[in-house]
Amino acid sequence: LYVVLEKGDIDFSKLIKNISETKQISMPMITYYWTEMLNAVHEIHKRGIIHSDLKPANFLLVEGRLKLIDFGIASSLQGDDTTSVLKDVPAGTYNYMSPEAISGRKINRKSDVWSMGCILFNLLYGRTPFSHLNNRWQKLHAIADLNHKVTFPKLQQHTPPSLRLALRWCLIKEVASRPTVEELVQLSELAPRLDSSLGKEIDGMMCKYFRKVLPNLKVLSEEEEFV
């Protein structure tokens, strides 16, 4: 019996490192890879699978496309979904693990969404949300503590509003307020309209528009600035 698998060119973690050593990752490249990740994770979620260990090293670049690998601690959901899966022990890489996974609480598809937010944070800022905390236990506590919010430093002015929205939305600690990947795909599909409508900022009218299109979006406030 022979098992033939597709050969990857390089894992996404090494690609990010190689690019960042010589230059900043371009915004079109970040947008492209974010869309690739969304499509991959959306596909497994539609099939009732929670990956549970999403991080750059678990995406392989194959002829310019990102492929998701390493389903070693993945969970399979039966039926439609609203059932969460409880892991016996936290697994995965701390910098990308969701608050509920670290706390030993139930996880669901939205736990993968948190991990994707951490990857996007890394692409935009060159680090993960809690990488500045060197002490392991301090880091775990900060991630698990629902009152310890993620800090978002000012981004480059030309960062697309759609990516800013996705970033903040994914990294909401309360699971119920976090988006599904399907909602993130919707946001990605609407991105050209959002990103070109106002250029550098989103006004109140566009915020209201997105609340109407994506009713679960609780990240924005009328005063929120994206410049």
Give CATH for domain 10-77+84-213: 1.10.510.10
What gap in Å lies between CA 42 and CA 109, rounded to an integer?
Answer: 10
Q: Which positions are catalytic? A: 53
pLDDT range class, residue 174, cuts 50, 70, 90: very high
Report, as an integer, the average pLDDT of 78-96.
Answer: 61
Higher pLDDT, 217 or 186: 186
Dist CA 162 CA 160 (whole Å): 5
Q: Which helix (H) or strand (E) holds 46?
A: helix 27-46
**Cα–Cα dist 123/164, whole Å:** 12
Instruction: Report whether pLDDT(219) > 80.
Output: no
Q: What tens digit of pLDDT does each residue of 109-156 get? A: 999 999 999 999 999 999 999 998 988 899 999 999 999 989 999 988
- Spatial distance between the Cα atoms of 51 and 177, rounded to a whole number of angstroms: 20
The CA-CA-CA angle for residues 123, 127, 130, to 5°, reads 130
CA distance 77 to 79: 7
For the record, the structure tokens of 220 come out as 């924005």
Is 70 exceeded by the pLDDT of residue 213?
A: no
**Contact between residue 55 and residue 13 where contact means Cβ atoms under 8 Å apart:** yes
How does pLDDT run across 4-55, given as a tens digit for each residue? 877 777 889 888 888 877 778 899 999 999 999 999 999 999 998 999 889 9
- Give domain limits for the chain: 10-77+84-213
Count Cβ atoms below 10 Å from residue 69 Cβ, excluding itself. 17
